[in-house]
Amino acid sequence: MATFKKALLPPQVTYLITKRFRGKINIQKPRAPHFERQLLIDFTKPFYGPPRNKLPQIELCDRGESKKKEQIDNPFERILANECLNWFNTSKMVVFLHMNSISMEEKTPVFATLKKNNMHLRTYGKKIVSIATHGTRYEAVNKLFKSHQNIIFGQPENVALMFKILKKTPQMIVMAGIIEDKLLSKNELVEFSQLPSLDIARSQLCNVLQRAASSLVVQLQQGQQILVSHLEKHVELQSAPSKDGEVQKAQETKDVDT
């Protein structure tokens, strides 16, 4: 049975052995590639300029050359710039912060507390702020920006509360601020936060005005009171001799009777 199978299914024996390039590869004088391959090789061939030691001195001097990067118009940056300018225009208090290394777990409670007290913490880059403030009255704040910056927008009456909230996070450092369109330093912001409220200031102003009016009335009445007192004293002095004469007459009559 085995011999029968061998007769029907003889094994395939290869008589040809293929070899690459039909021999050895010619490294010293290789064959030129076809046109498309040669075109690709020429197109991707790197270009190296002349070495610097062979260049003249005038080409080695690069001083005075302005290397300006091409500005790409980004619609998303313009949207963020318009939002930033809207915050500047609608907020009477703008505080600029220097942010040290802080995790998002530490920053989120501060953000929530500020928002709860009608203060908003925003982060903008230098390019967005420069686009937003270009040609406006806030253009001077660009000197405070070197990279991404954190800004607090709110109202002036919340300055003391803001310092109280930021006291728990020393990573957020106040650099400067804008109150009622006036740029203030950190020390000036601290002094502003220690001022009384508007109602207390109004009551103090009314008290000062009322005190001035009352002192004026007292000064106007003082001359009249002095004049009246002097007249009363003069009348007393005029009536004093007549009373003494009546007393003497009364004593003389008593002596005669006795």
Which two three-digit tokens encode residue 215?
């002192």
Which two three-digit tokens encode residue 162?
């803001």
Question: Among 230, 243, 159, which residue's Cα sits nearest to residue 196?
Answer: 159
Which two three-digit tokens encode residue 225?
């009171």
Q: Is the pLDDT of residue 145 over 70?
A: yes
Identity at 78, one-letter amino acid code = R
Instruction: Give the burial class of 256: count Cβ atoms within 10 A of its Cβ; 0-12 exposed, 13-18 middle, 19 or more buried.
Output: exposed
Confidence of residue 153 (pLDDT cuts 50, 70, 90): very high
Q: What average pLDDT does the chain have?
A: 80
Q: 């409220």: which residue's tokens?
A: 197
Of the chain, the percentage scoring pLDDT greater than 90 comes to: 10
Q: What is the pLDDT of residue 28?
A: 85
Domains of the chain with bracketed CATH = 75-193 (3.30.70.1730)
Q: Is the pLDDT of residue 20 over 80?
A: no
CA distance 87 to 95: 12
Lowest mean pLDDT among 22-36, 81-95, 144-158: 22-36
Confidence of residue 35 (pLDDT cuts 50, 70, 90): very high
Q: What is the pLDDT of residue 82?
A: 92
> For the stretch 35-60, what's the b/e string if a residue is b when 16 or more beta carbons lie within 10 angstroms of its beta carbon?
eeeeeeeeeeeeeeeeeeeeeeeeee
Tens digits of per-residue pLDDT, 125-138?
A: 888 888 888 888 88
CB 121 within 8 A of CB 165: no
Q: Is the pLDDT of residue 234 over 80?
A: no
Confidence of residue 36 (pLDDT cuts 50, 70, 90): very high
Of the chain, the percentage scoring pLDDT greater than 70 comes to: 80
H-helix or E-strand spanning residue 173: strand 172-179
Q: Is the pLDDT of residue 5 over 80?
A: no
Q: What is the pLDDT of residue 230?
A: 79
Compute the average pLDDT of residues 35-48.
90
Q: Is the pLDDT of residue 245 over 60?
A: no
Q: What is the pLDDT of residue 180?
A: 83
Q: Is the pLDDT of residue 190 over 80?
A: yes
Tens digits of per-residue pLDDT, 73-121?
A: 788 888 999 999 999 998 889 999 988 888 888 888 888 999 998 899 9
Q: What is the pLDDT of residue 134?
A: 87
Compute the average pLDDT of residues 160-179.
89
Sheet hosting strand 172-179, strand order edge to edge: 120-124, 149-154, 93-99, 172-179, 182-185
H-helix or E-strand spanning residue 174: strand 172-179
Identity at 243, one-letter amino acid code = K
Report yes or no on whether pTM surpasses 0.85.
no
Question: Among 208, 197, 205, which residue's Cα sits nearest to residue 158?
Answer: 197
